[in-house]
Amino acid sequence: MSREVTLYWNGKPFNTAVAHRVGRTLSYTWQNMQTGTDTELCVMFKGGKRKACETTVYVGDRASS
């Protein structure tokens, strides 16, 4: 029903949390953080062999209209 998941920030372990199952999905949401641009964020479940990674991209100021 739950598994440990680690967040990696530019290849280094940043935080570990417990993801919980919601339907068929294991899910955990980290708090809002300032990652900047071109930051590689990856997650890996304990006991897993694969990492899921994505690199942040600046999309402009969405707050202004």
Q: What pLDDT does residue 65 have?
A: 57
Instruction: Give this prediction's pTM.
Output: 0.82
Count CB-CB contacts under 10 A for residue 5. Answer: 20
Buried/exposed code over 25-46 (b: 16+ C-beta within 10 A; e: otherwise): eeebeeeeeeeeeeeebbbbee
From first to last of its 65 residues, what are the pLDDT tens digits of the chain? 899 999 999 999 999 999 999 899 999 999 888 898 999 999 999 999 999 999 999 888 776 65
